[in-house]
Amino acid sequence: MKTTMRSLALPALVSFALAMPAWAQQSTSPQLPTATPAATKDHGQKHADAVERRIADLHAQLKITDKQAKEWDAFAQTMRDNARKADEAFRDRAQKLPTMKAPDAMKSYADLTETHADNMKKLASSFSDLYDVLTPDQKQIADTMYRSPGEHAGKGKAAKSSKPASAPSAGSANG
């Protein structure tokens, strides 16, 4: 049953992309590993670095100008905030999961998906403000990038061809 639950949960978890701590998805044992403070800090820094790389990649791909800095900065900050919130939510769930009863585990998963949805709404709103100030050429680049929602930087078609990567996650991604 646990394997079935994980296989059903996997598609939704993939949507968290950058926001998902690696240690939260690696364990196949009944209990998730206990993260030491040092490991958690190290993971947090790696995740923050990944979000910053994604922001830099998007900035370069979209060819953001100085005139677009205000909207870009707001969008980038939303990516950072979303990633931090998602990371905190996953870390909190991972710490509590080994002692949760099944109904609590299901509710905590529902809470994660709600966090993701809220983050995506914020990101979409922030991106809409940015999109409004993009040039027609930049809009075409963005349109192409965001038409492939299942692909992420370094994965899928984006990695095989030299096409731009897809939308950031809440963390994307979350950022």
Position 106 in a domain:
yes
Question: Does 167 reside within a domain?
Answer: yes
pLDDT tens-digit map of 41-68: 567 788 889 999 999 999 999 999 999 9
Domains: count for the chain:
1
Which tens digit of pLDDT belongs to each residue from 106-133?
999 999 999 999 999 999 999 999 999 9
pLDDT of residue 36: 53
Within a domain: 99:
yes
Distance CA 168, CA 96 (A): 28
Is 173 part of a structural domain of the chain? yes
Q: Is the pLDDT of residue 2 over 50?
A: no
Is 75 within the bounds of a domain? yes
What's the full length of the chain, in residues?
175
User: Cβ(51)–Cβ(80) under 8 Å?
Assistant: yes
Q: Extract the runs of DSSP E, i.e. beta strands, from the chain.
A: none
Could you report the per-residue pLDDT of 142-166, keeping only the tens digit for each?
999 988 765 544 443 433 344 444 4
Q: Please report whether residue 40 resides in a domain.
A: no
CB-CB contact of 105 with 69 (8 Å): no
Position 163, amino acid: K
* Structural domain boundaries enclosing 107: 68-175
pLDDT in tens, 69-105: 999 999 999 999 999 999 999 999 999 999 999 999 9
Q: What are the two backbone dihedrals, phi and then psi, of residue 174, each rounded to the nearest 5 degrees? A: -35, 20
Q: Residue 39 — very low, low, confident or very high, per pLDDT cuts 50/70/90? A: low
pLDDT of residue 123: 96
In a domain, 6, yes or no: no
| pTM for the structure as a whole | 0.64
Q: How far is CA 67 from CA 114, 133, 135, 145, in A?
A: 34, 9, 11, 22
Is the pLDDT higher at 110 or at 8? 110
Give the integer Cα–Cα distance in Å for 151 and 171: 15
The Cα 44–Cα 173 span in angstroms is 14
